[in-house]
Structure 1
C-alpha cells in the first residue's frame, strides 16, 4: 500500500503561521514568497469576521503541509505598512483582506469571511501559481490507485481512494475513483449511493458528472443481450433499428466502446428521430462517461456534430 501524501518533512506549525510587522514584512512576506507562496491575512482585533476567518485560514494552511505559509498583519498596529500597501494598489480599506504573494508579488486576493471550500480553492490557486503541488502529494496517490484499478487490483484501488478521501474529502478524482471501483465490482447500488453522498462542493465536477453516465451504462449492461445474436439480427435486416440499438448496448457492455459508438452513429444516420432521439441520447451518455480526451469520444463527437449540422 502506498504511503499517502508522502512529502518532505513539513515545517513546524510555528513556522507556517507568523505575526508580521512593518519591520519583518520584507523578510517574512516578500523574501519568503520567493520560495513558497505566502498568504497574508490583514486583520484587526475589533473585526468580528476576522476572528472567524483567521482560524479557518490557519487550518487550511496547516492542511497544505508546507506548500504555503501564512502571515498575519494587524492593520491597527501596522498602519504605515497598510497605508503603503494601499498606495501600491492593495484595497485594504475593508478587512479582513487576504492576499496571496508569489515571487514577491500579490497574485490573488479576497475580502470578508468566506466558506472553507473557497479558502481551500484560494490556497490551491496560490500553490499552483508558485509552481507547487496543491494536493500535498494526493494526486500522485490517485494516479497510483488508477493504475491499480486498470490492472484489476480493484480492492487495493478502493482502499487507496478511500484513504485519500480521509485526508481530503473534497478530492473529486478520488471520489470518482471510488465510485468506479464499486462499478468494477458490479456493486452498482453502492456506486450510486456513494455518488449521491458526494459533498455538494464537488457534486457538479466533471469527474462526478461522468460517474452518473457510467452508472447508467452499468445498469444497461446488466440487461444487455448476447452480441452474436444481435449482430446476426442486424446483418439480416440492417433497418431493424431496435436490434441495432440493442447491439450497441451489448457491445458497450462487453467493453467494445468504439463498436457501440459506430452502431449508434449508423442508427442516427438512418433515422435521427427514432425512439425520440434515443441514438443521440445514448451517444451523449457514452461520451460523458469517457475521459474528454478519449480518442473514441473525440472522434464520435466530431462525427455526430457533422451529421447534426450537415
Structure 2
C-alpha cells in the first residue's frame, strides 16, 4: 500500500481522525471483552518491538497505527550504522511504555516497501500515525535527537488523532493481547472506492462515492468527513494562492474572496487563521452574505472535526458574532 505523507504542522488528513477513532474504539471493545473473559487486554514489553514484512504490513503497521504511533526502522544486515541505531530504538520503544510501537523492516527482504517509502539508504526511520506515513530521520542520530523526535510524534498522535497508545503489562504473556478485527460494514465498498479515488487524485470520483453513501445514510460520520475534505481539496484546485490572498487583503468585505482565502488557510494547516477570517467576515456582513460565510465555516468545522479544541473555540466565537 502506498504510504501517504503527513505533516506535523499541516491540517489533518480527510478521514484519518475518524478512522483512528473508530479503530481505537474497536480495540478498546476487544480489550474490554478480553477483560470479561479473564484477560488483561495488555501487551507485554516484548511485543513493543516487532519484525514486519510485506505480507503483514497492513495488519501489523497500518491497522496498529490506529491505536498507537508505529515507528518503522528500515535496516539491513550489512549496514553498520543500523547496528548502532536499532538497539537504541528498541530500548526506547520499551522505555516509552506503549506510547510507540517499533516495527523493524529488513529492506533486503522487503524491496517493495523500501520503494514505496522512497528510501534511498539505510538506516531510515519513519512513523505511521492513523494510516499516514511520516518521515522522521535518515542516517545516524544521537539519542537526544531521537527522544525529541519521539516526544513530538507522541504529542501529535494524541492531540490530533486521539491515540493514547497501548497498555503494557510486564507480566503479560507475549501474544496475549487481542487484535481488533475491523468488521465489514454495508458501505465498505463505497468508502474503499472513495479512498482509492483520493489516492489517484480523482476528487470528483471520491466526492461521488461519499455522496452515494450519504444518499442512503445521511448521517454516516466517515462519509460526511470525507466529503467535506474532498470538496475542500476540489475547491482549492487550480487556485493561485498569491492572487487569492492579495484579493482577500484588498477586499476585506468581499465574501467570495474571504471564503477562498479561508479554504487555502485550512489546506495549508492554518486552522485558526481560517476560522478567524470567516468569523470576522460574519461580523462585517448580513443577510445572504453572512449566511454563506456561516455555512462555509460549518463545513470547515466538519473537516477539522467537532472534538478539536480549535473548532470548539471557534463555535463559541461564531455564536457571539451571530447573536
TM-score range for the pair, normalised by the shorter chain length: 0.3 to 0.5
TM-score (norm 2): 0.42
Q: Which has the higher contact order (CA 8 A, sep 6+)?
A: 2
| Structure whose CA Rg is larger | 1
TM norm structure 1 = 0.43
